[in-house]
Amino acid sequence: MVKKIDSIAVNYIDEGEGDIILLLHGWGANITLYAGMIGVLARHHRVIALDMPGFGKTPDGARGVAAPLDGLLNGDLEVARIVQGVEDQYCGAFFRRPGIL
């Protein structure tokens, strides 16, 4: 799926229902990194994974790699609380919104 987040067409996966698990790839990767995990995790959780700007199918963004994540956490995908975040280097975005984890 693609959603405009902060004027960037972000490629993402949103599957399952329940508590949210957010999967964020590291530098040089994309959401295919989690292809084998998403179906299994989505049996009991809502799983969201996105290609960060400049990686996978998401084009580069003028505001840096964390801007779409900030947009997502601020309500673009109706994320109120994440029970688990699996990430490599974007933890700063979690700290800008206390209480989401």
* Structure confidence by residue, pLDDT tens digits, 12-54: 899 999 988 888 887 788 999 888 999 999 999 989 888 888 8
- In the sheet with 46-50, reading across from the earlier edge strand, the strands are 2-5, 8-15, 46-50, 20-24, 82-86
CA distance 74 to 80: 8
What domains can you pick out in the chain, each with its CATH number? Answer: 2-95 (3.40.50.1820)
Contact 6, 63 (CB under 8 A): yes
For the whole model, what pTM was predicted? 0.75
> pLDDT tens across 49-60, in order?
888 888 899 888
CA distance 15 to 91: 22
